[in-house]
Amino acid sequence: MSALNKLCEKADNLRFENLYKEAASTYLNAILIDRNSAESYFGLGICYKNLKEYKKAIKYLEMAAKLKENYFEAYFELGICHQLEGINCGAIKNFIKAIQIKPDSTEAVLQLGITHEICEEEELALMIYKKLIENSPEFLKAYDYTSSLLMKMDKYKDASMILNKLLKKNPEYYSAYAGIGVCFEKLGKFSNARRYYRKFLSLNPFSTQKDFIKNRLSKIKYMSYHSNPLKLINYPNG
């Protein structure tokens, strides 16, 4: 094994162990031996991404993309780093490039939609999410993001329909029950909301959302009482 290969292997192992500073130093040593190693620049970029030094990450990932034609992983990570740095136009450009190289990458398409949503281009983001569901119906994250965006747009009926489709794909996607509960509550269908909230709590009693759901149930009880207090009075028989 050559000295370069040994350094690259060592750097990769350090990166996989989340020792990003040590890995970055080793990748730099590998680059000193071969300045045309796309994999070394890519690994170095990923290290800086995980160290949250996104400008440096972008610099080295761009070098990797220049050195290796149609380097999908480099363009995808460039999209992520631009997104994290708040450079959304750069994120969109790189996600599109990644999709052109690998059209069936559900994650790249999803991230493109997320970036458009960040840019408040909600209709475009929604179109991307829905197309993702159509083309990749088993990719459950697409349902999640679609329903969340629909709820943000106050389209609660549409959101609940997407979440029901998600539950048909995976009945153990517990957060969908809470989401449907929110939709019904917003639509004023409190009995349905209560049913889905309770279903969520029964299936996922230790969820970090349990206090939020319990608060929603308390609010529904309060609202139900004040809209029709006679319903909560237990009259004696006879």
Q: At 156, is the secondary structure helix, strand, or coil?
A: helix
Considering the domain architecture, whether residues 75 and 63 belong to the same structural domain is answered as no
Give the model's confidence band at 227: pLDDT under 50 very low, under 70 low, under 90 confident, else very high.
Answer: low
Identify the pLDDT of residue 49. 98
Residue 159 inside a domain? The answer is no
Considering the domain architecture, whether residues 132 and 94 belong to the same structural domain is answered as yes
* Residue 231 pLDDT exceeds 90: no
Identify the domain boundary among 45, 68, 91: 68
| CB-based contacts of 155, cutoff 8 Å, min separation 6 | none
Q: Rounding to the nearest 10 degrees, give the CA dihedral for residues 41, 46, 47, 52.
A: 130
**% pLDDT > 90, the chain:** 83
Q: Give kind and range of the element (H or E) at residue 85.
A: none
Q: Range of 192's domain?
A: 174-229
Identify the pLDDT of residue 228. 57
Distance in angstroms (rounded) separating the CA atoms of residues 36 and 34: 5
Cβ atoms within 10 Å, residue 27:
29
Q: At 12, is the secondary structure helix, strand, or coil?
A: helix
Considering the domain architecture, whether residues 10 and 27 belong to the same structural domain is answered as yes
Identify the domain boundary among 24, 52, 68: 68
Identify the pLDDT of residue 22. 96
Residue 19 inside a domain? The answer is yes
Considering the domain architecture, whether residues 35 and 88 belong to the same structural domain is answered as no
Considering the domain architecture, whether residues 208 and 184 belong to the same structural domain is answered as yes
Give the model confidence (pLDDT) of 140-187 as tens digits. 999 999 999 999 999 999 999 999 999 999 999 999 999 999 999 999
Angle formed at CA 141 by CA 136 and CA 143, multiple of 5 degrees: 75
Identify the pLDDT of residue 2. 86
**% pLDDT > 70, the chain:** 93
* Residue 234 pLDDT exceeds 90: no
Considering the domain architecture, whether residues 5 and 21 belong to the same structural domain is answered as yes
Considering the domain architecture, whether residues 114 and 60 belong to the same structural domain is answered as no
Residue 105 inside a domain? The answer is yes
Angle formed at CA 165 by CA 173 and CA 91, multiple of 5 degrees: 75
Over range 63-70, report the average pLDDT: 97
Considering the domain architecture, whether residues 121 and 180 belong to the same structural domain is answered as no
Considering the domain architecture, whether residues 87 and 123 belong to the same structural domain is answered as yes
Residue 5 inside a domain? The answer is yes
Over range 69-97, report the average pLDDT: 98
Residue 235 inside a domain? The answer is no
CATH code: domain of residue 53: 1.25.40.10
Identify the pLDDT of residue 61. 98
Residue 166 inside a domain? The answer is no
Domain count, the chain: 3
Considering the domain architecture, whether residues 91 and 62 belong to the same structural domain is answered as no
Residue 92 inside a domain? The answer is yes
Over range 216-220, report the average pLDDT: 89
Mean pLDDT of the chain: 92
Q: Which two tokens stand for residue 221?
A: 């009880």
Q: Which residue reads 């969520």 in tokens?
A: 200
* Residue 229 pLDDT exceeds 90: no
Distance in angstroms (rounded) separating the CA atoms of residues 166 and 142: 9
Give the model confidence (pLDDT) of 89-125 as tens digits. 999 999 999 999 999 999 999 999 999 999 999 999 9
Distance in angstroms (rounded) separating the CA atoms of residues 78 and 108: 11
Considering the domain architecture, whether residues 89 and 147 belong to the same structural domain is answered as yes
Considering the domain architecture, whether residues 4 and 38 belong to the same structural domain is answered as yes
Residue 198 inside a domain? The answer is yes
Identify the pLDDT of residue 236. 47
CATH code: domain of residue 209: 1.25.40
